Amino acid sequence: MMTIQSSPLLRQALVADATTSAAFGLMMLIGAGALSAVFGLPEMLLRLAGLVLLPYAAFIGWLGLREEILKPIGWAVVLGNVLWAADSLLLFVSGWVAPTSAGYAFVIAQALVVLMYAEFQFVGLRRSRAVAV
């Protein structure tokens, strides 16, 4: 496997993504009941999303603190973020939810933030250098 020396941009993007993911994961896990009423999203969906975000945040936070990572893992994080954003928007066309205006705003805003992190991570990966073996 190809190991890279993470660029400063990649490390910063991973840590920022981890921080945001942990905060939103906790918010959705703990406050799912109240948020469900405000956003018009199922409480279980919010809880599950929160549960998914917490280990993800721990993992990418750990990656962001490392000088070297496996390049395929870095690309998997970028792809995962793009898929998360796409799935967030597909939620609207699925007909499975009937969000309020606040729910639409929340889902769209978080999808855009996730895409922003994916872009920073993409550029950070491109700036990273291969480690000589």
At 84 the three-state DSSP class reads helix
The DSSP string of 3-51 is EEE--HHHHHHHHHHHHHHHHHHHHHHHSHHHHHHHHT--HHHHHHHHH
Residue 1 is predicted with a pLDDT of 64
Give the mean model confidence (pLDDT) for residues 72-96: 95
Judge whether residue 55 has pLDDT over 80: yes
Taking only the tens place, the pLDDT of each residue in 24-38 is 999 999 999 999 999
Confidence tier at 132 by pLDDT (50, 70, 90): confident
Residue 131 is predicted with a pLDDT of 85
Confirm whether pTM is higher than 0.85. yes
Residue 133 is predicted with a pLDDT of 65
The Cα 3–Cα 71 span in angstroms is 6
Give the mean model confidence (pLDDT) for residues 13-30: 97
At 68 the three-state DSSP class reads strand
Q: How far is CA 45 from the centre of its chain?
A: 16
Which residues, 6 or more positions from 78, have their beta carbon under 8 angstroms from its beta carbon?
118, 121, 122, 125
The Cα 91–Cα 46 span in angstroms is 13
Taking only the tens place, the pLDDT of each residue in 92-105 is 999 899 999 999 99
Residue 6 is predicted with a pLDDT of 95
Mean pLDDT of the chain: 95
Strands 68-70 and 129-130: unpaired
Compute how many other C-beta atoms are within 10 angstroms of the C-beta atom of residue 104: 14
